[in-house]
Amino acid sequence: MRLYSLSVLYKGDPGTRLLKAAYDVSTFNFFQRSSVQEFMTFTSQLIAERSEPGSRASVKEQEYLCHVYVRGDGLAGVLIADNEYPPRVCFTLLDKV
């Protein structure tokens, strides 16, 4: 079970903006880390942008499972983990963030 990324975004009028993010790319090859982090940033913004306010969803992207929670005020949290990470734990963490 691995948690790779936790991002907080704001879904506003001009578009979705990344406010803060934390990544754990230590399991990837040194030369792949920047591209994996860029992929996670892009995927987080895309999923948050396509999600409706007040919704929760899980999206499978390649071998990762992306969990998103968008509040009614436009604040969104996206968590990227592997398939073994329990979805209930992910959404509880997103609620607390």
Q: pLDDT digits over 44-79, tens only?
A: 999 999 999 999 999 998 888 999 999 999 999 999
Asked if residue 17 lies in contact with residue 7, where contact means CB atoms within 8 angstroms, the answer is no
pLDDT score of 29: 94
Nearest to 20 by CA among 31, 35, 2, 5: 5
3-96, superfamily in CATH? Answer: Longin domain (3.30.450.50)
Judged by DSSP in three states, 43 sits in helix
pLDDT band with cut points at 50, 70 and 90 for residue 97: confident
Provide the residue ranges of all domains of the chain, joining segments of one domain with +.
Answer: 3-96
What's the pLDDT score for residue 13? 82
- Per-residue pLDDT reduced to its tens digit, 4-36: 999 999 998 888 999 999 999 999 999 999 999
Q: Which amino acid appears at position 41 of this protein?
A: T
Composition of the chain by helix, strand, coil, percent to 5: 30, 40, 30
Q: Tell me what the pLDDT averaged over the chain comes to.
A: 92
Please answer whether residues 61 and 49 qualify as being in contact, where contact means their C-beta atoms are separated by less than 8 angstroms. no
CA 92-40-19 angle, 5° bins: 70
